[in-house]
Amino acid sequence: MIEVRDLTKRYPGRTAVDGISFTVGRGEVVGFLGPNGAGKSTTMRILSSFMPATSGTVRIAGFDVFHQPDEVRRRIGYMPENNPLHIDMRVRDYLKFRARLKGLGIGRSRDRADRVIEQCGLKDVEKRIIGQLSKGYRQRVGLADALVHEPDLIILDEPTIGLDPHQLRSVRALIKELGRQHTVLLSTHILTEVEMTCSRVLILNQGRILAADRVEDLESRFSQDGRVVAEIDATPEAIRDAFRDLPEVASIEIQAAAGSFQRVAFTPRAGEDLRPLVFEQVRQQDWSLRELTRPRLSLEDIFIQLTQKKKGGDL
């Protein structure tokens, strides 16, 4: 669906995107992850043919973004950063207006507007003025706009920024729903968002792709070498004895926790998931267990690891 090759965008005095290449297949939901200023928005603007690249090629659904921009625009539903809307218009009028701009006929625009209003849960507010809606509803209007001309590809630039937890949940659910029928490329700087909605992730920093992987693979690669933490009700000595002879466990760290519990951190030998093993051991010893987790990494952690690794490699 998307083929990007050696894409570079230079602004005067600054390189925003530095020779990135990636592909996105039909039906995939891909997350663009990276800190602010990593080049996410720039890349998305080039993909949606809002602005030209300095060099490199982008093909969307087989059409070149630079040479056949209108073909590309017809096939993309793009929600720009900060979700700009005409705030003086009413929801349904706005969606009809956008459908017309995207080349749909009058009757078809009406039908599609009704369809996306239903799809995005906007039925209650379809006659309201957009400027009077809450941010969550506005975000849905933005999504409805992106969908209204039945595009093959949906590009969303930070679709959940600035939402409260309830709105966040409903917008994410909506995006996930969209992923069933469309190819979606979305950008964010929140890792959990990618986990919840995307099948694959591209990590971008300073205009370069640091990692491109499936979410699970990325997590196992970076989840602190698979460390598992458990809180077990036993003496430190007993815990050490129980786990000492297991070949999968590389090392154990024990700290006293509240009550008679111990907080134990297990490090596996070869990236294995130790959770079933720890549970099995606890069960055999008939201890009580009140926590068993593999600490989740934030984007920040993964990001720092990636950049450090990179530096190490360069040196």
The count of chain residues that interact with other proteins, using the rule CB under 8 A, is 31
Cβ closest to other proteins, residue 86 vs residue 309: 86
Interface with other proteins in residues 231-260 (CB under 8 A): none
Task: Give phi and psi for 279, each to the nearest 5.
Answer: -60, -45
Cα–Cα–Cα angle for 104, 146, 37, rounded to 5 degrees: 140
Query: How far apart are alpha carbons 248 and 312 in whole angstroms?
Result: 28
3-state DSSP helix/strand/coil percent for the chain, to nearest 5? 40, 30, 30
Min separation Cβ 70 and other proteins, Å: 4
Cβ closest to other proteins, residue 85 vs residue 302: 85
CA max distance for the chain: 77
Min separation Cβ 97 and other proteins, Å: 6
Interface with other proteins in residues 113-152 (CB under 8 A): 145
Cβ closest to other proteins, residue 98 vs residue 200: 98
Interstrand relation of 29-33 and 183-188 (parallel, antiparallel or unpaired): parallel
CA distances to 100, 107, 109, 147 from 130, rounded to whole Å, are 18, 23, 19, 17
Cβ closest to other proteins, residue 59 vs residue 200: 59
Cβ closest to other proteins, residue 156 vs residue 302: 156
Cβ closest to other proteins, residue 149 vs residue 200: 149
The two three-digit tokens of residue 36, written as one number: 């602010």
Under rule CB under 8 A, residue 106 binds other proteins: yes
Min separation Cβ 80 and other proteins, Å: 4
Min separation Cβ 89 and other proteins, Å: 7
Min separation Cβ 127 and other proteins, Å: 15
Q: In Å, how far from its chain's centre is CA 140?
A: 18
Min separation Cβ 27 and other proteins, Å: 22
Query: How far apart are alpha carbons 185 and 291 in whole angstroms?
Result: 36
Interface with other proteins in residues 43-102 (CB under 8 A): 45, 48-52, 66, 69-70, 73-74, 76, 78, 80-82, 84-89, 97-98, 100-102
Q: Secondary structure of 151-198 in the HEC alphabet?
A: CCEEEEECCCCCCCHHHHHHHHHHHHHHHCCCEEEEEECCHHHHHHHC
Cβ closest to other proteins, residue 30 vs residue 79: 79
Residues in contact with other proteins by CB under 8 A are 45, 48-52, 66, 69-70, 73-74, 76, 78, 80-82, 84-89, 97-98, 100-103, 105-106, 145
